[in-house]
Amino acid sequence: MSADLAPTLSLLEKLVSFPTISDQSNINLIAFIASYLDSHDVRFHVFPDASGQKQGLIAQIGPDEAGGVILSGHTDVVPVTGQAWASNPFELVARDGKYFGRGTCDMKGFLALTLAAVPQMVAAPLCRPVQLAFSFDEEIGCLGSPPLLAELARHFPPAEVVIVGEPTEMNVVRGHKGGIGMVTRITGKAAHSSRPDLGVSAINHAAKAISWHAAQMEKSRKQSAGDGFVPPYSTLQVGTITGGVALNTVPENCSFESDIRHLPGEKASDWIDPYRALLKAIERDMQVEHPEAHIELEITETVPAMIADPDGAATALARRLTGDNADRFVSYQTEAGHFQASGYDTVICGPGSIEQAHKPDEFITAAQLQRGQAFMQALTDTLCTRTIA
């Protein structure tokens, strides 16, 4: 263990040991962080989700005034079920300058770096505060973001800049696409397959709605308005589908899940409203044959797209701290969209590569942690001045 990384690695080891998969509680991890902050006399607040099984945490170091910096990260991780790991995913294992474990790069590495910097932040003569914002349920649609933002507004003065520490290899990411998750449930009428005229096939009608997704993506592709994004257009895809009971039965039910990743400048309603209108038209056609036929649409998640002002404080600060002046955009979604939608100037910058996230043998390198430590030290030094950008 490198001496200069020892505090960070010790914290990372502890954080990884908590199996905070999104369908499980993160309360023990939050309790550990709370105890750690309390040992350094840091002001913090813990809040529950609606179920009481998840918790978020916010904290502040430095003067109680507006204009500081929020360091934001999520505490949940994706499942390991079905993945072939070379070691226990909830045990930090070092091999060849890499540290393996679920969440090492997405994104407990950033949390460990942030917490390891706390003693230096507490000791520093900060002119502007650092606020910590640790959420839950990011991996299942950023569901913990709205309550986190509400708690920040309730307890702390507004910050000027938000840095979301998703894995970017410590480069500055200025924008990401928005996300919409939908479940479409279609109910028709069952009949024997020899008499399809007596039934209403839920699968046949689902096919019309599924085709809409491909047609809309092709339309967006032809417009190709998202310079900097890969691909440079909004994307739509159907990820799961279930329906029917037997080969010789007209299917009464069909449901499918779909995912939309849209460019900045587009709102969720720009996609949901026309899709809902299509489903209404399909439903009317079904009800001509069977009045009880119906379609239900459930919106499981909406994550706003994000694009930071290239001349804004967040971009300027992150570029100053990293030396990265490139314009970078990503197609995945993060909590940065919610922060920006709430009025915060926001960028994404954190250790590790997204290429390792969610995979078996997820890892973060010692080099990335060292860059992250340098970033935290530079941020602390900057906050000791009145100007942060």
Instruction: Look up 151 and say whether it is catalytic.
Output: no
Q: 72 with 165: CB under 8 angstroms?
A: yes
Alpha-carbon separation of residue 254 from 183, 240, 249 (angstroms): 11, 11, 13
Instruction: Look up 138 and say whether it is catalytic.
Output: yes
Give CA–CA dist 134/385, Å, rounded.
25
Torsion of CA 108, 113, 118, 119, to 10 degrees: 130
Radius of gyration of the chain (CA): 23
Catalytic residue among 138, 139, 166, 169: 138
In 3-state terms, what secondary structure has residue 105?
Answer: helix
Alpha helices in 145-266 (DSSP H): 145-155, 202-223
Torsion of CA 273, 207, 182, 272, to 10 degrees: -10
DSSP class of residue 77 equals B
Catalytic residue among 76, 139, 151, 345: 76
Cis before 360 (ω within 30) = no
Beta bridge partners of 176: 306, 330
By annotation, the residues acting in catalysis are 76, 138
